[in-house]
Amino acid sequence: MNKPLLVFREIEKSFSGSQILCGINLSLYPGKCILLSGKNGVGKTTLLKIIAGLEIPDLAKIEISGKTDCWKKAVRSVRKEIIYLHQNPIMFSSTVELNVAYGLRFTSLNRKQRQESVEEALEWAGLTDVAKKHAKTLSGGVQQRVAFTRAWILKPKVLYWMNRWPIWTTSRVKRHINYWSE
Ligand SMILES: Nc1ncnc2c1ncn2[C@@H]1O[C@H](COP(=O)(O)OP(=O)(O)O)[C@@H](O)[C@H]1O
Ligand SMILES: [Mg+2]
pLDDT of residue 172: 66
Which of 54, 85, 116 is a domain's end point? 85
Q: If you take atom 1 of ligand 1, which residue's CA is the nearest one?
A: 15
- 97 shares a domain with 79: no
- For ligand 1, pick from 11, 12, 15, 44 the residue to mutate: most ligand atoms within 8 Å of CB: 15
- Asked if residue 17 has its Cβ within 6 Å of ligand 1, the reply is no
- 125 shares a domain with 58: no
In this structure, of 55-59, 70-74, 127-131, 176-180, the range with the lowest mean pLDDT score is 176-180
Supply the range of the domain harboring residue 55: 6-85
pLDDT of 166 above 60:
no
Q: How far is CA 166 from CA 37, 38, 155, 163, 181, in A?
A: 11, 11, 28, 9, 21
Check residue 155 and give left, alpha or beta (phi > 0: left; psi -120 to 50: alpha). Answer: left
- 61 shares a domain with 126: no
- pLDDT tier at 54 (50, 70, 90 boundaries)? very high
Phi, psi of 173 (to 5 degrees): -60, -45
- pLDDT tier at 55 (50, 70, 90 boundaries)? very high
pLDDT digits (tens, 9 = 90+) for 15-51: 999 999 999 999 999 888 888 888 889 999 999 999 9
pLDDT of 180 above 70:
no
15 within domain boundaries: yes
Q: If you take atom 18 of ligand 1, which residue's CA is the nearest one?
A: 45
- 181 shares a domain with 96: yes
Q: At what angle do helices 140-152 and 111-124 cross, to 10 degrees?
A: 130
- pLDDT tier at 162 (50, 70, 90 boundaries)? confident
pLDDT digits (tens, 9 = 90+) for 97-127: 999 999 999 999 999 999 999 999 999 999 9
- 149 shares a domain with 63: no
Residue 38 burial (C-beta neighbours within 10 Å; 0-12, 13-18, 19+): exposed
46 alpha carbon – ligand 1 mean position (Å)? 6
- Asked if residue 56 has its Cβ within 6 Å of ligand 1, the reply is no
- 12 shares a domain with 93: no
Rounded to two decimals, the pTM is 0.83
* CB under 5 Å of ion ligand 2: residues: 44-45
